Chain A
Amino acid sequence: MLSRYRALAEQGVLGLNKRNGDYILRFNPRRLFPLVDDKLKTKQLALQAGIAVPQLYGVIQTQYDIRSLPEIVRDHQAFALKPAHGSAGDGIVVISGRSGSRYRTIGGTLLDADFLSHHLSNAINGQFSLGGVPDVVIVEYMVRFSPLFERISYQGVPDIRVIVFRGFPVMTMVRLPTRSSHGKANLHQGAVGAGIDIASGVTLDGVVGTEVVTHHPDTTHAIAGLQIPDWDTILDISARCYELTGLGYIGVDIVLDRDLGPLVLELNARPGLAIQIANRQGLLRRLQICEARADFDASPEQRVDFAKREFQHPVGPLIEPQRIVTAAA
């Protein structure tokens, strides 16, 4: 057990205690949390900064507003409903079309208007928000995901998670929905997580839970070796999300739209640690490299360059400058 502990430490694996104590507490001031916990605020900030996000159709704030849903989505066959304070994808309903008076979800289930308004009122009352506080529901553009991922995802929208440390993209992965995750890109529910080489934007092998998988469990296509399009844009957007909020340790969730390219879905001030398993690499090692060598006043472009240079997969252990000197002598 102790040897496992030491092995993980040597690999620079980041644990929850360290993430909370040394990164979130230090770099994410509490007062900035509302900026990312409220997806509506994040969206508005991103729009101001010129970062592409899914188009906002409307906001349902009160029980009364629920009646206006048909009005909001009159011109949109497909749309997504998201509780502004939902966490881990809880409470999100994606409608891909209509069938008479009923709504068809992306999974193919037909929902009547009654069910949908019940769901909305639950969300407004805070069923999906942390601590059960009253919430609002965002009605927005349904992302039409890029055909690229069709072969390696089961329904749903795959999304790309980028961990951004003080403006530097340090680790990325793509989350691929599976049948067991009910089409959600949520690793806890059984979605596949696959690391991406920051330098090239090419996917690595995936994992389900803690098990390594080389092929998607439902579509049986190989996961590794896929070149993510618009990779530089994705890194650039993520890097600029730092200036958006000022939070030093965030997870940026990005989707690739068929027509619109990369769109920022949401930011997360407490990003999970499963990304390390997906990359089969410790995150701590990269964070330490960043802290030791990075210039934190650099522009977003310079930060992306730094990340592409330093974090080419696989990343070796951090060697302190003085150790190099002693080794040379």
Chain B
Amino acid sequence: MNNKHLYALSVVLTVVALALFAYKIRVLGFPLTPQEETQVWNVEAAVRFEPGPAAVKATLRIPGLTPGFAILDENFISRGFGLTTRAAPAGREAQWTLREARGPQTLYYRALVYRDESRLAEDTTPPFPSQPVLDEPSRAAMEGLIAEVRRQSADVASFTTELLRHINQGESDPYLSLFLGRGSTPAERAQLATVILAGAQIPARIAHGVSLRSEAGQVHSEQYLEVHDGVQWLYFNPQTLQQGLPRDFLIWWRGDERIADIEGGALIEVTLAVQQNLLDSMLVTERRAEKLGSHSVDFSFFTLPIATQAVYSVLVMIPVGALVIMLLRNFIGVKTFGTFMPVLVALAFRETRLLWGILLFAVIVSLGLLIRFYLERLRLLLVPRLTCVLTVVVLLMAGISVVSQKLDLESGLSIALFPMVILSMTIERMSIVWEERGASEAIQEGVGSLVVAAVAYVIMGMAWLEHLIFVFPELLLLVVVAALLAGRYTGYRLLELRRFKALAPTREAA
């Protein structure tokens, strides 16, 4: 009647649905396909130490500022120890304490990290470093080195690269032989670089971390040199001199300290291990939404208990089935028993699978019809007769289940999920149509219902569609829009074109 109103409503609903949909995909990163998985890494640090006679305090640096990665979950495994975590200059640290411990102890820290490109080093700009305290010859050597490197460089980045090249030449460099002994480790060289950079008034620090490779197993920490150019932190590989942080490098802690310290005991070793996993994208998304402070996850199906979620994953598909039936009835013109009976049968097909479902449906309805025709001869009243048919239908279903169990046909068992009340009503309705309008009409409508149920089943069973509707229930608004628009479709149905063909003028006549 008021089509403008209808179209406006449709447009509003469509916009709302698509906007929510887009927001959830773009901003919250909800996965579009069901099998989508996100790479996550399990990183683990095991601290083994020998406790002394008195109280023990073990400190472990743990990941805090991790550019390119975010922590999904972390846990600490330590029997009997008191635990605190706190911020520290090196990042974060966990501190385990115990009054008295006996024998070697192992403490574990485990974290689940995933790639998150949006995370950058959120550090503030550091102050200029103070001049390192050195003896006079070292001081002179450092100043000479700084002067030479400065001459060969243009900015902070090239200065750092040049300095690292000098350090890597090591003992052969006249200035550096003073600082570096024979066989210095990369860590020591990186350490030296920060000292000299401090001498040149450039803030620098060492970032320790691990490479998140795909093979599982033990890893060793690697060092990167972080240099602040006044605007942002730059990363340098102290050995290869390459600038930039590799994509798979997880920064664990910063600074000159070791990864773990033990007070009142002796550190035996710290082992780091990495394992790559694939995790359902939904989990990662939930966490991300939590961190972004979005409520869209709080109010999604994922907050429900798993069993309820399972129910809703089926329920949200019912409107889709109804949509299919609406299209088949109003645009094609298929006749069915009962408006939405085929949807319920289609739901039952989910358990039985299509072929078995159709077979079982046909068997039950035809046996039910036979019983119904027999009952007709007994001249029962309507409601007792319906009760009779219903009971017989249940017995038939039970019988089929038992027989198929004996024959080892698993599919026969799933018949228990058929909507028996609906089936009984269908049988009753079909037998009346049979009597009043003839067998052909009854069979036609019966087959029509079955075909519609099969089509609805196939569409409702599409895994990606189910996932899409479950994760983005707002898409059901589009079903509403489709129904609104179809509700004003007053054109012909496909089967009417055949029905009224006698009314269309033939080409010759026209």
Contact = CB atoms under 8 A, between A and B. Distances in A.
A5 B490 contact: no
B488 interface: yes
B381 A7 contact: no
Interface string A261-284: 000000000000100110011100
Interface string A1-34: 1001101110101011110011000100000000
B81 to A, nearest CB: 72
A55 to B, nearest CB: 26
Contacts of A207: 502
A175 to B, nearest CB: 15
Contacts of A188: 437, 441
Interface string B4-29: 00000000000000000000000000
B93 to A, nearest CB: 72
B499 A210 contact: yes
A320 interface: no
Interface string A76-104: 00000000000010110000000000000
B330, B487, B492: most-surrounded residue (chain A CB, <10 A): B492
Contacts of B437: 188-189
Given A90-B432, A127-B382, A8 B497 contact: yes
B504 A8 contact: yes
Contacts of B438: 189
Given A17-B330, A122-B381, A277-B503, A5 B488 contact: no
B500 A13 contact: yes
B496 A16 contact: yes
A296 interface: no
B493 A17 contact: yes
Contact of A17 (B382, B441, B492, B503): B492
Interface stretch (A113-121, A140-148, A196-204, A230-238): A113-121
B137 interface: no
Given A4-B497, A13-B492, A15-B493, A126 B502 contact: no
Given A15-B496, A207-B502, A210-B501, A121 B381 contact: yes
A273 B333 CA distance: 14
B1 interface: yes
Interface in B33-59: none
Contacts, number: 93
Nearest to A211: B502
Contacts of B1: 26
B382, B494, B500, B504: most-surrounded residue (chain A CB, <10 A): B500
A125 interface: yes
A18 B505 contact: no
A212 interface: yes
Contacts of B373: none
Q: How large is the interface on B (under 10, 10 to 19, 20 to 34, 35 or more residues)?
A: 20 to 34
A12 B381 CA distance: 47
Interface string B409-445: 0000000000000000000000010001110010000
Nearest to B492: A15
A122 B497 contact: no
B494, B503, B505: most-surrounded residue (chain A CB, <10 A): B503
A8 B499 CA distance: 11
B504 to A, nearest CB: 4
Given A8-B503, A189-B437, A115 B496 contact: no
A282 B489 CA distance: 19
A22 B382 contact: no
Nearest to B495: A16
A22 to B, nearest CB: 5
A90 B503 contact: no
Nearest to A7: B504
B379 A115 contact: yes
Nearest to A86: B436
A171 to B, nearest CB: 13
Interface in B375-400: 379, 381-383
B432 A127 contact: yes
B491 interface: yes
A63 B382 CA distance: 12
Contact of A125 (B330, B383, B488, B500): B383
Nearest to B510: A7
Nearest to B436: A90
A115 B499 CA distance: 38
Nearest to B384: A125
Contacts of B488: 21
18 contacts: A4-B501, A7-B504, A8-B503, A9-B492, A13-B492, A15-B490, A17-B489, A17-B492, A88-B436, A91-B436, A122-B381, A122-B382, A125-B383, A189-B436, A212-B502, A273-B500, A277-B499, A277-B500
4 closest residue pairs by CB, A with B: A125-B382, A118-B379, A18-B490, A7-B504
Interface of A: 1, 4-5, 7-9, 11, 13, 15-18, 21-22, 26, 63, 88, 90-91, 114-115, 118, 121-122, 125-128, 132, 188-189, 207, 210-212, 273, 276-277, 280-282
Given A8-B500, A18-B492, A128-B432, 6 more contacts: A8-B492, A11-B504, A17-B330, A126-B382, A189-B436, A189-B438
Interface of B: 1, 330, 333, 379, 381-383, 432, 436-438, 441, 487-494, 496-505, 510
